[in-house]
Homo-oligomer: A and B are copies of this chain.
Amino acid sequence: MQRDKSDPLSVVTRAPDTDYERIFHPKRVAIAGVSPGGGSGFGTLSLLSLQAMGFEGEIFPVNPKGGEITGLKIYRRVEDIPGKLDLVVVVVAAEESAAVLEAGRRKGAAGGIIITSGFSETATPEGVAREEEIRQIAAKGIRVIGPNCFGIYCPRSGLTFIPNPDLSRESGPVAFLSQSGGMASDYTSMGMWMGLRFSKVVSFGNGADLRESELLWYLGDDTETGVISMYVEGIRDGDEFLKALKSAARKKAVVILKGGLSTAGSRAVVSHTASLGGSRVIWESLLRQAGAVQVRDIQEMAQTCLAFAMLPGRVYRGLSVAGGGGALGIVACDTAEVYGLEVPLLQGSVRDQVASYLPKSGASAVNPIDVANPYTPPEILEKIFRVAAQDNRIDLQVLMLLPHHYKTFAGTRRGWRTFPHEELADRLKSVIRETRKPVVLVMTNTKRGLPDLDVVEVHAKARQTFLAKGIPVFDEIGDALRAIANVNRYYGKGETA
């Protein structure tokens, strides 16, 4: 914990007194609490998740009954495992957790993940005492994540204890710290289809030992992490958190969802993770001062991180907004203004050139650009975007697509399933490369019922195509504009106080 104590606000990089490398990329992991018969207990699920992810290290399942599980020998005690451990995962009963953690520490583990609940979050004297015991073992030299958590998801090492068996092995720039395990599970699931790729996800639950501030110091310096997202309910040490947050936010965007801002929410925080809440106004002010980007729900957090991850880091003030439909563009402009974004009037030769690619009737080149029909060929869209980018007040271009309209013409000459997403992705990618101005897609699906699962499928495919070409996709124009505005809040802020 080396920091420049003489100047508490100076940006100081924390020396790694914790062996994060062995915690996030362990070679030898014990899982205590698997069921010999399989079953769906969290111990077994953790093991299955690890195997489904293709974790390459050695796994040592533990259960006093011994036996075998998915081809692995079950050790009766952690002590019986041969050699040194890097990580011990504790999924036994709450009252047995301390002993297992201590055994792991004696086996040389750099970290312990206690998934089990039944600690301070119960607000019982026994629960609080158990957590204190965990803390004392941690102080002897093992860093603890949990209890009452899902631990770590680290795509690069294949380490995961989040009970989503289908998470990606693909790494990316987004880190996530969460006091809530459910949030970590939902957020990583959303990331899969939205295109968020993670560096490290840590669900730390009650945070008996390692928690928000220390993990922030770590991620601030983590070269794999480009943007940090966090779900926090309460923090242990406000001053320390503020320092860690300021330091991290100077290096990369930190997007924070603070739970428990309301009377009822704050009350619930106490029983959820035994943290203290705090008033909405205090938190908003604190987070703003620290240079963090506060968001209101998991959707905004995910959308904002997508924008941070996929857009070059800068302020985007002026937008071109194009779509096939007048009202679409008008409502987009209205929403843009709410978020402090501009949709500048195109003028002169840029406007004339854009107009030359549009139909004579029903279209508009002023910006918003109304291409007048939802079937505008990719070739035309490419031309329009290349020209509009010449206006130096345009920093970013938004294209609103309504691919479900293609289904309307099933059986007619336009055909269905003909939404040319691959061609469009290629053309937009070349526009982005040449103009050096990003394009953001909004693909709203107004057909989502049982007769339209084919539309859902085309949407999902198209989304993958666009994401693969580096083009972020949002469901609704409001989501996209809010995410862009959040990027602006970060890059547009003055010196942090």
* Interface residues of A, Cβ cutoff 8 Å to B: 39-40, 45, 117-118, 121-122, 148, 163-166, 178-180, 182-183, 185-187, 189-190, 192-193, 231, 233, 257, 259-265, 267-269, 271-273, 280, 296-299, 324-338, 342-345, 361-362, 364, 366-368, 370, 402, 404-405, 408-409, 412-414, 444, 446-453, 456-457, 460-461, 463-464, 476-478
Q: What are 16 A-B pairs at a CB distance below 8 A?
A: A118-B361, A182-B324, A182-B328, A183-B325, A185-B405, A193-B449, A233-B327, A262-B343, A264-B343, A267-B345, A267-B366, A273-B326, A280-B337, A297-B477, A297-B478, A449-B464
The smallest beta-carbon distance between A178 and chain B, in angstroms, is 8
Contact (Cβ within 8 A) B477 A271:
no
Contacts of A333 in B (CB 8 A): 260, 262-265, 268
Of B166, B327, B332, which contacts A451 at CB under 8 A?
B166
Contacts of A336 in B (CB 8 A): 262, 264
The smallest beta-carbon distance between A184 and chain B, in angstroms, is 9
Contact (Cβ within 8 A) B40 A409:
yes
Contact (Cβ within 8 A) B449 A192:
yes
Contact (Cβ within 8 A) B446 A453:
no
Contacts of A117 in B (CB 8 A): 361-362
Within the oligomer, what is the number of copies of this chain? 2
| Interface-centre pick from A45, A192, A337, A448 (highest chain B CB count, 10 A) | A448
| Docked pose: A331 CA to B299 CA in angstroms | 12
| Docked pose: A458 CA to B23 CA in angstroms | 38
The smallest beta-carbon distance between A288 and chain B, in angstroms, is 17
Task: Indicate whether A412 sits within 8 Å of B478 (C-beta atoms), given known contacts A257-B331, A402-B186, A453-B453.
Answer: no
Task: Indicate whether A413 sits within 8 Å of B39 (C-beta atoms), given known contacts A333-B262, A476-B299.
Answer: yes
Contact (Cβ within 8 A) A408 B361:
no
Contacts of A342 in B (CB 8 A): 264
Task: Indicate whether A478 sits within 8 Å of B296 (C-beta atoms), given known contacts A117-B362, A446-B186, A447-B192.
Answer: yes
The smallest beta-carbon distance between A456 and chain B, in angstroms, is 5
A182 to chain B: closest residue by CB:
B325
| Docked pose: A366 CA to B123 CA in angstroms | 14
Contact (Cβ within 8 A) B265 A330:
yes
| Docked pose: A328 CA to B333 CA in angstroms | 32
Of B122, B367, B408, which contacts A264 at CB under 8 A?
B367
A271 to chain B: closest residue by CB:
B364
Contacts of A449 in B (CB 8 A): 192-193, 460, 463-464
| Docked pose: A404 CA to B231 CA in angstroms | 21
Contact (Cβ within 8 A) B40 A413:
yes
Contacts of A345 in B (CB 8 A): 264, 267
Task: Indicate whether A329 sits within 8 Å of B268 (C-beta atoms), given known contacts A297-B477, A361-B122, A452-B193.
Answer: yes
The smallest beta-carbon distance between A458 and chain B, in angstroms, is 10
Contacts of A476 in B (CB 8 A): 297, 299
| Docked pose: A446 CA to B297 CA in angstroms | 13
The 3 A-B residue pairs whose C-beta atoms are closest, nearest first, are: A193-B449, A180-B327, A272-B326
Contact (Cβ within 8 A) A182 B327:
yes
Other than the known A182-B325, A450-B457, what 11 A-B pairs have Cβ atoms closer than 8 Å? A180-B325, A185-B405, A186-B444, A193-B449, A262-B333, A264-B367, A265-B332, A265-B368, A268-B330, A268-B366, A271-B364
The smallest beta-carbon distance between A84 and chain B, in angstroms, is 33
Contacts of A265 in B (CB 8 A): 329-334, 337, 343, 368
Contacts of A183 in B (CB 8 A): 325, 327-328
Contact (Cβ within 8 A) B414 A40:
yes
Contacts of A332 in B (CB 8 A): 265
Contact (Cβ within 8 A) A259 B334:
yes
Contact (Cβ within 8 A) B297 A366:
no
Contacts of A231 in B (CB 8 A): 327
Task: Indicate whether A446 sits within 8 Å of B189 (C-beta atoms), given known contacts A264-B345, A297-B335, A297-B476.
Answer: yes
Task: Indicate whether A327 sits within 8 Å of B259 (C-beta atoms), given known contacts A333-B265, A446-B186.
Answer: yes
Of B40, B262, B273, which contacts A412 at CB under 8 A?
B40
Contacts of A296 in B (CB 8 A): 334-335, 338, 478
Contacts of A344 in B (CB 8 A): 264
The smallest beta-carbon distance between A124 and chain B, in angstroms, is 10
